Amino acid sequence: MEPRGQSETHLVCLYFRVLTWIAQLSVYIFCFIVNLTECVPEKPKRSTLNQLTRTLLRKYDCGVRPVHNWTSSTTVYIDLILQSVLDVDGKTQSITTSIWYRQIWRDEFLVWDPEDFDGITELSLSSDAIWVPDIIVTEFVEEGKSPPIPYVYVNSSGSVRNYRPIQAVLACSLEMYAFPFDKQNCSLTFRSWLHSVKEIDLALWRSAEAIAGDKREFMNDGEWELLSVPSQYWQIRQDDADYAQIQFNLLIRRRPLLYVVGLLIPSIFLMLVDVVSFYLPLNSGTRIAFKISILLGYTVFRVNLTDELPATALRTPLIGVFFVVCMAMLMLSLIKSILVVKLLHHSEKEVKQMSLSACLLDRYGSADRSAVSGTAQISDTFLSLEEDLLSLNDVPDPPSGLEWLLQELVSLRMAFSQEDSESSAQAEWLSLCLRLDRLLFRFYLLVLAVYTGTLLLLWARWSFT
């Protein structure tokens, strides 16, 4: 047997060892609990946001105008920024624009104290969950591909901001007469569809001067140039009630360089070629063929550019009149050349039978008449000589050698004189036709100059006003 003292010592050691294990186990358990507590996340701030949203919308009715006193009106502030002009259709009298539209109003039911909700001063809410004013644009034909923005921003004072981009197709009275130097004035009129001014009033968020001169967001490298966006507010009387309206006028101007280079300059070049063709020789036979080629080329040019011209059912654009008159001038030039060539190949006797040609001969044919009288005197002399020769034939004796030689010389002289008289008549007739050609050419230039000057004055006035 072990001594009693040793057994007690063994028990005491065992006891202390168990206590040590228990202490270590307690430490491990404590550390595990501490680590587990640290791993649990804190209460997120989003829960405060959700609580604020539930608090605001718990008893909210989106069908009721958000005022405590029903006699007070809700003022809706409107702002507009034009971004681009996408299309102008003269046939349907419509314009497609891209605008940035902003609405601001105060909702008296969406007010809270930021200190009660962890300092939250604003939040986003669904636009379907709150009251939204029924503001429309009266010129809307259709709403284009506008991206949906389903949220609005609300701050702690109850101010609601509804910002959204709009691609709108608007009805507009387009004036295309001055194309391509035209200016357009299209309006966007905002108003409440049902509420009178006692319930919903409208106002500008910025000053009218700031809106009119705001071109920061406008895409200024396209076909259209933004001049200004003036705005005005007024009230209209309808069904014994006053309705508030705000109208924005979009003043835009077309940049004409593309159409001047592609339409006007080629047409002017063809007209210049036609004018130069008058210097071709009248009796060469190539002038008429050349002018017909110019007319055909101009017709093909005009047909290929039909899609470039605006289509309108009210008034024909001035550039359309320009093309028609240019074609008429080419036709007139061709007819003039045909007339002169026809006169050139007529004989003098045939021309004198025509009244117009007889007038021209009376005016310009004095030299020709003097030449004809001189020819007649020579012919009389030759006739007397011929009678003398014929009298010689009555002599029964055959002519001698000297007489025969004299008779042959007289015949040759008569032939040469007749040929010279015919050549002189042809030269005089050609000179008369050339004078007529120059006269008609000057008249053609006068008409062309008056027409061109009128067009340039009109287009210059529209370009610099």
- Domain boundary (201, 226, 254) is at 254
Question: CB within 8 A of 301, min separation 6: which ones?
Answer: 266, 267, 270
Q: Which residues pair with 242 in a beta bridge?
A: 237
306 with 211, same domain: the answer is no
Helix (H, G, I), strand (E, B) or coil at 136: strand
Spatial separation of the C-alpha atoms in residues 414 and 426, rounded to whole Å: 18
* In the predicted structure, residue 356 carries a pLDDT above the cut 80: no
Which range has the top average pLDDT, 25-34, 62-71, 366-375, 423-432? 62-71
Domain residues for 217?
52-254
pLDDT tens readout for residues 231-276: 999 999 888 889 999 999 999 999 888 888 888 888 888 888 888 8
Spatial separation of the C-alpha atoms in residues 191 and 203, rounded to whole Å: 11
Mean pLDDT, the chain, whole residue set: 78
Read off the DSSP letter of residue 93: T
170 with 306, same domain: the answer is no
197 with 342, same domain: the answer is no
Evaluated on CA atoms 274, 277, 282, 285, the torsion sign reads: negative
308 falls within a domain: yes
Tokens 């194309």, residue located: 179
- pLDDT attached to residue 109: 93
375 falls within a domain: no
DSSP E strand stretches across 223-267:
224-228, 231-238, 241-254
pLDDT tens readout for residues 2-47: 455 556 666 656 666 666 767 666 766 766 665 655 554 554 445 7
Closest CA to 135 of 211, 182, 54, 190: 190
Q: Which residues pair with 97 in a beta bridge?
A: 85, 168
- Separation in Å, CA 141 to CA 79, 90, 166, 193, 288: 21, 14, 13, 16, 54
Spatial separation of the C-alpha atoms in residues 297 and 292, rounded to whole Å: 9
- pLDDT attached to residue 67: 92
Q: Reduce the secondary structure of 349-416 to three states and give it as a string.
A: HHHHCCHHHHHHHHHHCHHHHHHHHHHHHHHHHHHHHHHHHHHHHCCCCCCCHHHHHHHHHHHHHHHH
247 with 174, same domain: the answer is yes
- pLDDT attached to residue 366: 45
81 falls within a domain: yes
What one-letter code names the amino acid at 51? Q
- Domain boundary (254, 287, 315) is at 254
- pLDDT attached to residue 161: 94
* In the predicted structure, residue 311 carries a pLDDT above the cut 80: no
- Separation in Å, CA 254 to CA 87, 185, 375: 12, 12, 71
- Domain boundary (254, 286, 307) is at 254
Give the number of domains in the chain.
Answer: 2
Spatial separation of the C-alpha atoms in residues 65 and 69, rounded to whole Å: 10
Read off the DSSP letter of residue 261: I
309 with 455, same domain: the answer is yes
Q: Which residues pair with 162 in a beta bridge?
A: 103
